[in-house]
Amino acid sequence: MTDTKPIRRIAIIGTGVIGASWSSLFLAKGLQVVATDIAPNAEAALRKFVETAWPALTRLGLSPGASQANLKFTSDIAQALAGADLVQENGPERIEFKQKLYGQLDELLPPDVIIASSSSGLTMSEIQKGAASHPERCVIAHPFNPPHLIPLVEIVGGAKTSEVTKQRAAEFYTSIGQRTVRLNKEMPGHVANRLQAALSREVYYLVAEGVVSAADVDTALSWGPGLRWGVMGSMMLNHLGGGPGGIEHFFQQFTGPMTAWWKTLGSPVLTPEVQKKLIDSVHAEAGSRTIVELEAERDEILLGLIELRKKAAKPS
């Protein structure tokens, strides 16, 4: 571990869905959270989100000192930042807004406090231009929604982010049970969202072309490769797919067919007509189930999978 002050107090900037989920996670890990947002009724919405998320977090296991009482809220950003050990920024995905905000954060915070952005679509090299004094402490720490359940955090530095900052960020998120991946270079959308986008492109193409319905393509994914992806990633599954010969035999056997399929993958144009076809097919799949009901179904199964993976990961 690097020789730095322990991270115990988190300032949450922006308490929308991602900020509220981060707040819930940090509280469950026994940390102090001070949140700020200027939106109307932001505090009430945040506290309701945390209260609703708490049973799932309790099921996954609360850390010593975990308490909803450790959440404070203020509309004054300077008050939120006072005494913070790390800032988790969840502001709007607009570069002008981010740069202005980072200038403000840079002025108000001591130079050793990490400013971590949840941004999924902007690069830190552009964001940190707003932090003229200490851009080296700014880093992307991109979660996967909802972060209080999904443990993935993508760590991406900008052109001026220090190696110490990236290491400290990775150590912090790992210490609270998150699974971190470090990108060696910036890419639009980082990694996980790029993988999703690649898959979504073919899903939309197959439905738009009338090859399959939304219900059937979702069945093909969630009851086929999706089951395996919930256990191991694509590269390791390829290694197993090669049998006793491993990844070497996999490439010997499947390079030809796989690259032939690549040439037929679609590039759909999401015209209003195509979008309507996709939307209608999704509503047919959802039927009478509400968003709330679908979320509950997703989260219940997800919790079981996380519990199973945690159990399997423990040394025997």
pLDDT at 118: 98
Domain enclosing residue 135, as ranges? 9-183
**Residues 131 and 27 reside in one and the same domain:** yes
CA dihedral (13, 18, 20, 25) in degrees, to 10, reads -100
Q: Is residue 4 part of a domain?
A: no
Q: Is residue 178 part of a domain?
A: yes
Residue-wise pLDDT for 253-280, tens only, equals: 999 999 999 999 999 999 999 999 999 9
Confidence bin at 313 (pLDDT 50/70/90): confident
Alpha-helical runs (H) found in 153-230:
163-175, 192-208, 214-222, 225-229
Task: Please say if the pLDDT value at position 51 is more than 70.
Answer: yes
The region that residue 39 occupies, defined by phi over 0 for left and psi between -120 and 50 for alpha, beta otherwise, is beta
Q: What is the DSSP letter of 63?
A: P
Count how many domains the chain has. Answer: 2
Type of residue numbered 139: V
Q: Is residue 108 part of a domain?
A: yes
What does each C-alpha distance from 200 to 217, 230, 261 come to in angstroms?
11, 18, 16
- Cα 2 from chain centroid (whole Å): 25
CATH number at residue 195: 1.10.1040.10
pLDDT at 314: 65
**Residues 126 and 245 reside in one and the same domain:** no
Confidence bin at 1 (pLDDT 50/70/90): very low
pLDDT at 311: 86
**Residues 24 and 146 reside in one and the same domain:** yes
Residue-wise pLDDT for 183-236, tens only, equals: 999 999 999 999 999 999 999 999 999 999 999 999 999 999 999 999 999 999
CB 171 within 8 A of CB 180: no
**Residues 271 and 198 reside in one and the same domain:** yes
* Boundary-marking domain end, from 138, 167, 183: 183
**Residues 136 and 246 reside in one and the same domain:** no
**Residues 155 and 273 reside in one and the same domain:** no
Residue-wise pLDDT for 276-312, tens only, equals: 999 999 999 999 999 999 999 999 999 999 999 988 8
**Residues 15 and 100 reside in one and the same domain:** yes
**Residues 122 and 249 reside in one and the same domain:** no
Q: Is residue 3 part of a domain?
A: no
Number of helices followed by number of strands (H, E) in the chain: 13, 8
**Residues 305 and 225 reside in one and the same domain:** yes
Hey, what are 146's tokens? 């909802």
Confidence bin at 316 (pLDDT 50/70/90): very low
